[in-house]
Structure 1
Amino acid sequence: MKVLLVEDDESIAGQLAEALRDENFVVDVARNGEDGQHLGDTGAYDVAVLDLGLPKIDGKAVLKGWRAAGRNLPVLILTARDGWSEKVEGFKAGADDYLTKPFRTEELVMRLRALVRRAAGHAQTRIVCGPLTFDAQIGTFELDGLPLKLTGLEWRVLSSLILRRQIVVTRTDLLDRVYDGDAEVDSNSLEVIVGRLRRKIGHHHIETVRGLGYRLTAGES
């Protein structure tokens, strides 16, 4: 899951980015509204966390710009402005959720996971594909009812695939959601991760679609 974090407070942005990465999110950080709007317009993100009081362009204007351009990126507004009128204006601008400072990181993580899940078209928190079950609210996997142990990179790939089960996910899309922007990516690294996942869940459950990417299936071997 890839998050765009638009927050001008350096301390909050750093702490949040670290906490989200600990929860296996890939995080891009923008420190002003201009950069945030550009990243939201050009990058592939599962969800955005947007402060309102931003330099250059305020958060509400950024959000209105995304919506006017047809961007359906789920957006959670994170701000110290806790008045009801501010919340109403945020939702009118196109926000999907609203959280006021101070907040618990655990709550933010769960809200972001819920936004990503719903945006992918899943009403239920538990997503099933063959013997594999993903609890999208707490971020855990089970295989045949037993906990499935995954590395962080394996979790990112498998969560991207199961949220789009039976749909081809391109190689580029997976790479965007697995690695932070400043990470050095070996050309075969994704194939290595997919190979490890196949050994853990069954080779026949991850199909390679030549020239495109991968698809998670519920098919039997």
Structure 2
Amino acid sequence: MRVLLVKDHLQSGLMLQKSLQRSGYTVDLAESASTAYTAMQRFSYDALLLDLSLPNNQGTAILQTYQGQLPCVVLPARDPAEQRVASLCIGADNYLLNPAEMSKLEAYIKAILRRPEHREEQNLVFADLHYDPQTRLLTGPSGYQVLVRREAILIEALMQAAPRTVIKDNLEKNLYDSDEEASANAVEAVVSRFRRKLSALNSSCQLKTFRGIGYGLVKSMAE
């Protein structure tokens, strides 16, 4: 799961980012509205964690812009009742007072992604493969495989694009946080590990390499 955390207080933002990363999320931190808009144009996110205390009501503007497009948990610095009600009315899915308790925040994220309007978009199917992002279970003819975080990001990108090719550079951007430096063969390493799990499922699908371009999930010729 890739999450955008929008928070203008750098120290608390970094602490929250690291806590979520330890729980398996890919987390990008934006310290301003302009940075947040740039990130959302560059990456595809599963959820938005938004601090409403951004200057000049920019937090509210972000919430209004992405209303209905992106599940959102609002993280206000204070809790006036009218702000809470207004946030929920203009598109927030949930509301959690800062400083956020990690177990509660993770529960909120999972809850908004389990809602029917979000789950329909999240569950992925291609040929005989079924993937549930909530459990990270990839199911095929011979059972299932539990995917680690980067394998999960890989299969989501592949299944959403299938049978089209996913550009390698785009995969690298999704596999690693914006502040992480990936090694030269980082994508290949994730692909290699994933291929072993795919093989164990005896699927009719193959992860094909298009040299110089990227990767694609395709049905075998037998299909």
For each residue in 1:29-65, what CA deviation from the matched residue of structure 2 results, as whole angstroms up to 9, or x when unmatched?
123334334433x43131422121123653012344x
Q: In 2 relative to 1, CA 179–97 (structure 1 residues): closer, same or farther, beyond 3 Å? A: same
Normalising by the residue count of structure 2, what TM-score does the alignment of the two structures yield? 0.71
1:80-95 equivalences under 5 Å are 80=76, 81=79, 83=81, 86-88=84-86, 91-92=89-90, 95=91
Which segments of 5 or more consecutive residues in structure 2 lack a partner in the other structure?
Answer: none
Following superposition, the deviation at residue 187 of structure 1 comes to 3.0
1:52·1:79 contact (CA, 8 Å) conserved in 2?
yes
User: Are 1:138 and 2:135 matched, yes or no?
Assistant: yes
Name 2:168's counterpart in structure 1. 171
CA change 1:173–1:91 in 2 (3 A) is: farther
Any runs of at least 4 consecutive aligned residues in structure 1 with deviations exceeding 6 A, and if so which?
none
Specify the alignment match of 1:62 in structure 2: 62
Q: Offset of 1:9 from its aligned partner?
A: 4.6
Alpha-carbon offset, residue 145 of structure 1: 5.8
Greater Cα offset, 102-111 or 186-195:
102-111
Q: Following the alignment from structure 1 to structure 2, what is the Cα–Cα distance between the partners of residues 191 and 215? A: 13
The residue type equivalent to 2:218 in the other structure is T
User: Does 1 or 2 have the higher relative contact order (CA < 8 Å, sep 6+)?
Assistant: 1
Name the CA distance, whole Å, in 2 between partners of 1:124 and 1:159.
11
Partners of 2:87 and 2:186 in 1: CA distance: 44
**What SS does structure 2 have at the residue aligned with 1:157?**
helix
In structure 2, distance between residues paired with 1:156 and 1:24:
11
Which residue does 1:74 correspond to in 2? Answer: 70
Displacement, 1:84? Answer: 6.4
Residues 1:21 and 2:21 aligned together: yes
Counterpart residue number, 2:4: 4
1:77-111 CA distances to partner (integer Å, 9 max, x unpaired)? 4134474674445553xx36233335613323314
> 5+ unaligned residues in a row in structure 1: which ranges?
none
Tell me which residue corresponds to 2:215. 214
Distance (Å, rounded) in 2 between the aligned partners of 1:124 and 1:60: 25
Give the deviation of 1:206 after TM superposition.
1.5
Whether the 8 Å CA contact 1:167–1:215 is kept in 2: the answer is yes
Partner amino acid for 2:44?
A: Y
Aligned residues: 210
CA RMSD of aligned residues (A): 3.6
Paired with 1:43 and 1:56, the residues of 2 have a C-alpha distance of 24
**TM-score, scaled to structure 1:** 0.72
When residues 141 and 99 of structure 1 are mapped into structure 2, their CA distance, relative to the original with a 3 A threshold, is: farther
| Cα distance in 2 for residues equivalent to 1:157 and 1:4 | 18
1:160 to 157, 162, 167: 157
Give SS of 1:217's match: strand
2:190 maps to a residue whose letter is I
Deviations 1:3-46 (A, max 9, x none): 22102355653443234323433211123334334433x43131
Three-state SS of the structure 1 residue aligned to 2:55 is coil
Q: Is the 8 A contact 1:27 1:180 kept in 2?
A: yes
Give the fraction of aligned pairs with identical amino acids, expressed as a percent: 22
Question: Partner residue of 1:97?
Answer: 93
- Whether the aligned pair in 1 keeps the contact of 2:74 and 2:92 (CA below 8 Å) is no
